[in-house]
Amino acid sequence: MLKVDHASVYFQTRDGRTVHALDRVSLAIPENSFVVALGASGCGKSTLLNAIAGFLPLSDGAITLDGRPVTSPGADRGVVFQKDTLLPWKTVIDNVALGLKFAGVPKVARRERAERLLHLVGLKDFAAAFPYELSGGMRQRVGIARALATEPDVLLMDEPFGALDSLTREQMQELLVSIWKETHTRIFFITHSIEEALFLGTQVVVMSPRPGRIVARFDLDFVRRFAETGDARAVKTSPEFASLREEIRDILHGSEELRSAAE
């Protein structure tokens, strides 16, 4: 179980102000779950993900992964960002195998695992290509393969499809569900798209802006329904999907109005 317990983060800005970015956030990411944090820009979603990744320290509270405190980055957590971070001078397969090289995995095993992962993300014919030869969606798929290479306990994804066109984005969501189902890797995913959150999450936490806190939680089964039927359209056009979309929209608008009134 990955547990975030009353996590708070304060930043000191260079002009001496204190920004309260995260306020006593608690959540659990159990095995086989797909937890999505949803909120408007600036509500502390990336701060939360970066703390779970071990990139930044909490000011208060604790994060543990299977009982071990999280204090620095580790191979047990794979990260995918909105902008791909592939090395342009390395081939696709070498990019995927990079973390394995650092982990001391022998060359033949590295290649085998990287090939398997490229197959998983539908890029087995692009092993020898360079990142500039790929589309944005393909580069994100390489990033996912790379993040999965070390077989992490949890995949952390910070708006990974935010820069993609809407059709590619939908295809990537569906691909991610099949990867989640096949690898059983739990996922923590950040988005500001209500539809994306509803479609993907087994649990959706809605965050309010400054200080970022969780204002609502939903346990959902749309993603499992899609995983069983393969019919995304039926899921997204269902009356439950539409009514939750409106409910969450009201919550997001309500918390934004409260914040504006307080400023």
> Which of 5, 26, 42, 225 touches ligand ATP by CB under 6 A?
42
Lookup: tokens for 221 = 């089964």
Applying CB under 6 A, does 44 fall inside the site for ligand ATP?
A: yes
CB of 44 to ligand ATP, least distance (A): 4
Q: For residues 113 and 98, is the Cβ–Cβ distance under 8 A?
A: no
Two tokens, residue 222: 């749309």
Nearer to ligand ATP, 41 or 72 (CB): 41
Cα–Cα distance between 22 and 20 in angstroms, integer? 6
With 0-12 CB in 10 A as exposed, 13-18 as middle and 19+ as buried, what is 262?
exposed
Q: Dihedral sign, CA of 198, 200, 203, 208?
A: negative
Q: Contact region for ligand ATP (CB under 6 A) — 38-46, 131-139, 179-187, 218-226?
A: 38-46
Tell me the torsion sign for CA atoms 84, 89, 93, 97: negative
Site for ligand ATP in 178-237 (CB under 6 A): 192, 210
Q: Round to whole Å and give the CA distance between 105 and 92.
A: 18
Please tell me whether residue 228 adopts helix, strand or coil conformation: helix
Q: Which of 46, 150, 203, 255 binds ligand ATP (CB under 6 A)?
A: 46
Measured between alpha carbons, how far is 115 from 71 in angstroms, rounded to an integer?
32
What three-state secondary structure class fits 57? coil
Using CB under 6 A, which of 45, 77, 110, 146 touches ligand ATP? Answer: 45
- By C-beta, is 21 or 96 nearer to ligand ATP? 21
When the beta carbons of 31 and 257 are compared against ligand ATP, the nearer one is 257
Q: Quote the least distance from Cβ 37 to ligand ATP, whole Å.
A: 8
How many chain residues touch ligand ATP (CB under 6 A)? 14
| Residue of 2, 4, 21, 134 that binds ligand ATP (CB under 6 A) | 21
Q: Please identify which residue in 27, 43, 149, 200 interacts with ligand ATP, judged by CB under 6 A.
A: 43
13 binds ligand ATP per the rule CB under 6 A: yes
Q: For residue 214, give the 3-state DSSP assignment.
A: strand
* Segment interacting with ligand ATP (CB under 6 A) among 41-49, 95-103, 226-234, 240-248: 41-49
> Which one, of 263, 177, 184, lies nearest residue 220 by Cα?
177
Report, in Å, the least distance between residue 146 CB and ligand ATP.
22
How many angstroms separate the first and last alpha carbons of the chain? 38
Q: Closest distance between ligand ATP and the C-beta of residue 29, in Å?
A: 18
Which one of 25, 35, 38, 47 is in contact with ligand ATP (CB under 6 A)? 47
Nearest approach, Cβ of residue 24 and ligand ATP (Å): 15
Query: Side by side, which strands form the sheet with 186-191?
Result: 77-80, 154-158, 186-191, 34-39, 203-208, 213-219
Give the binding site for ligand ATP (CB under 6 A). 11, 13, 19, 21, 39, 41-47, 192, 210
